């Protein structure tokens, strides 16, 4: 089993974007605090899963955490 390295970032759901066409998914626009200005906002499909496997949608203003994770063998030690 590979060990993982990770970084947890605080973020806030700025807004929920309705799809242009019914075949497209709803998107949540998330502002990652502490990221460079040009790279703070990400948009993801607005579906999250709870611990029981149920699905839900994020609401604007919700505080979330964004986790960046990689196998430890894919990273190097910081000098």
Domain that holds residue 22: 10-69
pLDDT band at 72; cut points 50, 70, 90: confident
Quick one: tokens of 22? 């019914």
Q: What is the mean pLDDT of residues 28-48?
A: 96
* 65 assigned to some structural domain: yes
Identify the pLDDT of residue 1.
Answer: 63
Q: How many domains does the chain have?
A: 1
* 77 assigned to some structural domain: no
Residue 19 φ then ψ, to 5°: -70, 150
pTM for the predicted model, two decimal places: 0.84
Do you know the residue count of the chain?
Answer: 79
Residue 44 has pLDDT above 90, yes or no: yes
* 27 assigned to some structural domain: yes
Identify the pLDDT of residue 3.
Answer: 86
Distances in Å between the Cα of 38 and the Cα atoms of 2, 41, 42, 53, 70 are: 33, 8, 10, 34, 23
* 74 assigned to some structural domain: no
The 10 Å Cβ neighbour count of residue 26 is: 13
Identify the pLDDT of residue 74.
Answer: 83
């Amino acid at each position: 089993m590979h060990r993982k390295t990770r970084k947890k970032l605080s973020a806030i759901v700025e807004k929920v974007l309705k799809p242009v066409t019914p075949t497209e998914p709803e998107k949540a626009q998330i502002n990652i605090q502490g990221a460079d200005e040009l790279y703070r906002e990400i948009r993801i499909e607005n579906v999250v899963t709870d611990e029981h496997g149920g699905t839900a949608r994020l609401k604007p203003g919700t505080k979330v955490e964004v986790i960046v994770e990689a196998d430890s063998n894919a990273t190097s030690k910081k000098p």
